[in-house]
Amino acid sequence: MEDSGSALAALFAIIFIPLMIYVVIVIIAHWKIYTKAGKPGWASIVPIYGTIVLLEIVGKPIWWFLLLLIPGVNFIFIIWIANLLSKSFGKGTGFTLGLIFLTPIFILILAFDSSVYLGPGGLVNAYGADDYQKPFDTVA
């Protein structure tokens, strides 16, 4: 009987410790992404508020949170948010695919590379504006 208890403890350690390391790395990456976007990093660890702040970063309304609660529909909107997140930092479609299929690696790349937050969706600075909140004030 004691052998099954120690085997269970070993299995728990084998699964739990790497999972906790993964969770800590992802939290650090999200914290860094939020701060790069000018939002408080601690917001990334608060469940509902963190999602609302992420929606602000990518330039989508708060009511999109409700769409993320609908099974099936949420997959479409998660992909859309990943695309807008990569565009917000000046990345392309290939990076979006990386965010979708290799999430932990590409979240770390996005967090720790030299990319700069260009505004929601990255589309506003395409017009040459310095401030993403004033898209038509072009730089002289």
Amino acid symbol at 26: V
- Specify which residues 138 forms β-bridges with: 129
CB 83 within 8 A of CB 58: no
- The dihedrals phi and psi of 138, each to the nearest 5 degrees, come to -75, 155
Residue of 29, 56, 44, 43 lying closest to 132 (CA atoms): 56
**10: alpha, beta or left? (left if phi > 0; alpha if psi -120 to 50):** alpha
Ordered by start, the domain boundaries in the chain are: 2-127
pLDDT tens-digit map of 75-126: 999 999 999 999 999 999 999 999 999 999 999 999 999 999 988 887 654 4
pLDDT score of 131 more than 60: no
pLDDT per position as a tens digit, 42-85: 999 999 999 999 999 999 999 999 999 999 999 999 999 999 99
